[in-house]
Protein backbone atom coordinates (compact mmCIF):
# COMPACT_ATOMS: atom_id res chain seq x y z
CA UNK A 1 0.00 0.00 0.00
CA UNK A 2 1.26 3.45 -0.92
CA UNK A 3 -0.20 6.59 0.63
CA UNK A 4 0.87 9.52 -1.53
CA UNK A 5 -0.95 12.48 -3.08
CA UNK A 6 1.42 12.62 -6.06
CA UNK A 7 -0.06 10.54 -8.88
CA UNK A 8 3.29 10.38 -10.68
CA UNK A 9 4.84 8.80 -7.58
CA UNK A 10 1.93 6.36 -7.36
CA UNK A 11 2.39 5.38 -11.00
CA UNK A 12 6.17 4.99 -10.70
CA UNK A 13 5.77 2.86 -7.56
CA UNK A 14 3.26 0.62 -9.32
CA UNK A 15 5.51 0.19 -12.36
CA UNK A 16 8.47 -0.68 -10.13
CA UNK A 17 6.44 -3.41 -8.44
CA UNK A 18 5.42 -4.81 -11.84
CA UNK A 19 9.04 -4.85 -13.01
CA UNK A 20 10.00 -6.78 -9.88
CA UNK A 21 7.48 -9.42 -10.92
CA UNK A 22 6.13 -9.91 -7.42
CA UNK A 23 2.62 -11.14 -6.89
CA UNK A 24 1.21 -8.41 -4.70
CA UNK A 25 -1.90 -6.33 -5.03
CA UNK A 26 -0.92 -2.69 -5.21
CA UNK A 27 -3.26 -0.38 -3.34
CA UNK A 28 -3.00 3.40 -3.16
CA UNK A 29 -4.56 6.16 -1.13
CA UNK A 30 -4.22 9.87 -1.87
CA UNK A 31 -3.80 10.96 1.74
CA UNK A 32 -3.79 9.63 5.28
CA UNK A 33 -7.51 10.08 5.87
CA UNK A 34 -8.29 8.20 2.65
CA UNK A 35 -5.92 5.39 3.70
CA UNK A 36 -7.43 5.04 7.17
CA UNK A 37 -10.93 4.97 5.67
CA UNK A 38 -9.86 2.23 3.22
CA UNK A 39 -8.19 0.15 5.91
CA UNK A 40 -11.19 0.40 8.24
CA UNK A 41 -13.79 -0.19 5.52
CA UNK A 42 -12.24 -3.27 3.91
CA UNK A 43 -11.41 -6.11 6.32
CA UNK A 44 -9.89 -8.04 3.41
CA UNK A 45 -7.29 -5.32 2.88
CA UNK A 46 -4.20 -6.71 4.62
CA UNK A 47 -1.10 -5.06 3.18
CA UNK A 48 2.30 -6.67 3.60
CA UNK A 49 3.93 -3.24 3.71
CA UNK A 50 2.65 0.33 3.94
CA UNK A 51 4.54 3.34 2.58
CA UNK A 52 3.35 6.73 3.85
CA UNK A 53 4.37 9.97 2.18
CA UNK A 54 5.63 12.31 4.88
CA UNK A 55 3.85 15.36 3.48
CA UNK A 56 0.32 14.62 2.32
CA UNK A 57 -2.70 16.87 2.70
CA UNK A 58 -5.23 16.35 5.50
CA UNK A 59 -2.94 14.13 7.60
CA UNK A 60 0.86 14.19 7.73
CA UNK A 61 2.89 11.01 7.49
CA UNK A 62 3.76 10.50 11.16
CA UNK A 63 0.17 11.19 12.18
CA UNK A 64 -0.95 8.60 9.63
CA UNK A 65 1.47 6.04 11.10
CA UNK A 66 -0.09 6.64 14.52
CA UNK A 67 -3.59 6.05 13.12
CA UNK A 68 -2.53 2.93 11.20
CA UNK A 69 -1.06 1.43 14.37
CA UNK A 70 -4.45 1.87 16.09
CA UNK A 71 -6.10 -0.56 13.63
CA UNK A 72 -5.56 -3.96 15.22
CA UNK A 73 -5.67 -5.89 11.92
CA UNK A 74 -2.71 -3.96 10.48
CA UNK A 75 -0.87 -2.74 13.57
CA UNK A 76 2.00 -5.20 12.95
CA UNK A 77 2.37 -4.39 9.26
CA UNK A 78 5.73 -2.72 8.56
CA UNK A 79 5.16 0.97 7.84
CA UNK A 80 7.78 3.05 6.05
CA UNK A 81 7.78 6.81 5.80
CA UNK A 82 8.28 7.90 2.18
CA UNK A 83 9.89 11.26 1.47
CA UNK A 84 12.03 13.28 -0.90
CA UNK A 85 14.72 13.42 1.80
CA UNK A 86 15.51 11.67 5.09
CA UNK A 87 14.77 14.31 7.70
CA UNK A 88 16.26 13.00 10.99
CA UNK A 89 13.53 14.66 13.07
CA UNK A 90 10.76 13.07 11.05
CA UNK A 91 12.53 9.71 11.08
CA UNK A 92 12.85 9.88 14.87
CA UNK A 93 9.18 10.81 15.29
CA UNK A 94 8.18 8.09 12.85
CA UNK A 95 10.17 5.40 14.66
CA UNK A 96 8.81 6.52 18.02
CA UNK A 97 5.31 5.97 16.61
CA UNK A 98 5.89 2.63 14.92
CA UNK A 99 7.48 3.33 11.54
CA UNK A 100 10.28 0.95 10.55
CA UNK A 101 12.35 3.46 8.61
CA UNK A 102 12.22 6.25 6.08
CA UNK A 103 12.57 5.52 2.37
CA UNK A 104 13.86 8.35 0.21
CA UNK A 105 11.94 8.70 -3.04
CA UNK A 106 14.02 7.42 -5.92
CA UNK A 107 15.20 9.60 -8.79
CA UNK A 108 14.66 6.85 -11.33
CA UNK A 109 12.91 3.52 -11.82
CA UNK A 110 16.00 1.35 -11.34
CA UNK A 111 16.77 2.95 -7.98
CA UNK A 112 13.16 2.49 -6.81
CA UNK A 113 13.16 -1.14 -7.93
CA UNK A 114 16.35 -1.82 -5.98
CA UNK A 115 14.95 -0.20 -2.85
CA UNK A 116 11.67 -2.09 -3.07
CA UNK A 117 13.45 -5.38 -3.81
CA UNK A 118 15.43 -5.04 -0.56
CA UNK A 119 12.31 -4.26 1.47
CA UNK A 120 10.19 -7.01 -0.10
CA UNK A 121 12.86 -9.61 0.67
CA UNK A 122 12.29 -8.93 4.37
Digitized pLDDT (tens) for each residue of the chain, 122 residues in all:
999 999 999 999 999 998 887 777 899 999 999 999 999 999 999 999 999 999 988 899 999 999 999 999 999 999 999 999 888 999 999 999 999 999 999 889 999 999 999 998 87
CA–CA distance, 122 with 108 (Å, rounded to integer): 22
Paired with 51 in beta bridges are 2, 80
CA–CA distance, 65 with 63 (Å, rounded to integer): 5
Superfamily for 2-121?
Response regulator (3.40.50.2300)
pTM over 0.75: yes
Amino acid sequence: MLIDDDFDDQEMFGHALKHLDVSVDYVTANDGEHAIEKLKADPKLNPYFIFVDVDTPKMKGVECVVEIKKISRVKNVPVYLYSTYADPKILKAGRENGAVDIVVKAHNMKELEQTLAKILKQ
